[in-house]
């Protein structure tokens, strides 16, 4: 996984379409794309975005809103039980689902677009 | 449960039925149902625990709701799942009530690197 990230860093350029193309060979991103999730943001534990498949502005939006939410969830869980800690958070709305995976080294955010089933 | 544009009426019978159905599911540890202002209506926990859970998780749900509203397009929260090391908490806003379920889903992923 580390190798594929290095590859994508080398071929990344500044235009948005090229940025999407740069992640085409990335196995990590492909794994999520199979499930319909194209948007992945990786942040360090502080909340600064390290890697992202979305545009700069949206990444910044997501990161700046999700990090306080993740911190708040962690506080809630530890208030109830000091030995407990959050590992994963899933926010589901009508059209999208946001997965936030927290651990000591990274915060990984995956945004998945849900397919509408005909009712 | 059909999704309606207008908030559907959630009677006491509905609350009891929902409570009973959730408790029947495997792995469920505790259930808490609260009304719109976050006050526990029906719960399987002790009074003190129930109040604490309700207060804290309702807060979190509001913040999550605010986050989703600020995203494009503005969306409503359907479900919030917080998975911790010992259990998983599922919060579902549903019309005028919010259902909070604590279920037993121990996270075994964190142990696997240590086992090697």
Q: Which residues of A touch B85 (CB under 8 A)?
A: 83-85, 87
Q: Does a structural domain hold residue B25? A: yes
Q: Is residue B1 part of a domain?
A: no
Select from A91, A97, A110 the residue whose CB has the most chain B CBs within 10 Å, as the one to mutate to test that interface: A91
**Any domain includes B52:** yes
Residue B115 belongs to a domain: no
CB contact residues (below 8 A), chain B span 56-75, against chain A? 56-57, 59-60, 63-64, 67-68, 70-71, 73, 75
Q: Quick check: ipTM above 0.95?
A: no
**Domain assignment of residue B91, given as a range:** 10-109
CB contact B111 to A (< 8 Å): no
Q: With an 8 Å Cβ cutoff, are A79 and B56 in contact? A: yes
Token pair belonging to B70: 């600020």
Whether the CB of B36 is below 8 Å from some CB of chain A: the reply is no
Which range among A16-20, A92-96, B93-97 shows the weakest confidence by mean pLDDT? A16-20
Between CA A83 and CA A5 the distance in angstroms is: 34
Look at residue B3 in the predicted model and tell me its pLDDT. Answer: 39
Nearest-5° Cα angle at A101, A91 to B73:
35
CATH number at residue B17: 3.30.450.30
CATH code for residues A2-113 = 3.30.450.30
Task: Enumerate residues 6+ apart whose C-beta is below 8 A from A92.
Answer: A98, B77, B78, B79, B80, B81
Asked whether residue B116 is assigned to any structural domain, the reply reads: no
pLDDT in tens, A28-85: 777 777 777 778 888 998 888 888 888 888 888 889 999 999 999 999 998 888 888 8
- In this complex, do A76 and B64 lie within 8 Å of one another by their Cβ atoms? no
Number of compact structural domains in chain B = 1
In a domain? residue B4: no
Instruction: Determine the Cα–Cα distance for residues A52 and A108; give it in Å rounded to an integer.
Output: 10
Query: pTM for this one?
Result: 0.74
pLDDT digits (tens, 9 = 90+) for B14-31: 888 888 888 888 888 889
Domain for residue B103, yes or no?
Answer: yes
């Amino acid at each position: 996984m580390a190798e594929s990230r290095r590859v994508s860093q080398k071929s990344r350029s500044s235009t948005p379409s090229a940025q999407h193309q740069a992640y085409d060979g990335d196995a990590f991103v492909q794994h999520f794309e199979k499930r319909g999730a194209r948007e992945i943001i990786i942040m360090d534990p502080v909340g600064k975005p390290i890697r992202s498949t979305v545009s700069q502005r949206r990444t910044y939006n997501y990161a700046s809103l999700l990090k306080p939410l993740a911190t708040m969830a962690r506080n809630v869980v530890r208030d109830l039980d000091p030995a407990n800690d959050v590992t994963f958070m899933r926010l589901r709305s009508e059209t999208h689902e946001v997965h936030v995976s927290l651990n000591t080294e990274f915060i990984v955010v995956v945004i998945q677009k849900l397919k509408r089933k005909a009712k | 449960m059909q999704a309606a544009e207008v908030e559907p009426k959630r009677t006491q019978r509905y609350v009891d039925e929902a409570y009973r159905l959730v408790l029947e599911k495997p792995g469920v540890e505790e259930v808490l149902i609260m009304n719109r202002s976050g006050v526990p209506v029906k719960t399987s926990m002790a009074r003190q625990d129930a109040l604490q859970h309700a207060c804290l998780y309702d807060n979190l749900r509001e913040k999550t709701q605010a986050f989703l509203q600020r995203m494009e397009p503005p969306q409503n929260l359907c479900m919030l799942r917080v998975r911790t090391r010992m259990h998983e908490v599922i919060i579902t806003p549903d019309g005028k009530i919010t259902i909070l379920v604590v279920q037993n889903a121990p996270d075994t992923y964190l142990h696997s690197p240590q086992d090697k």
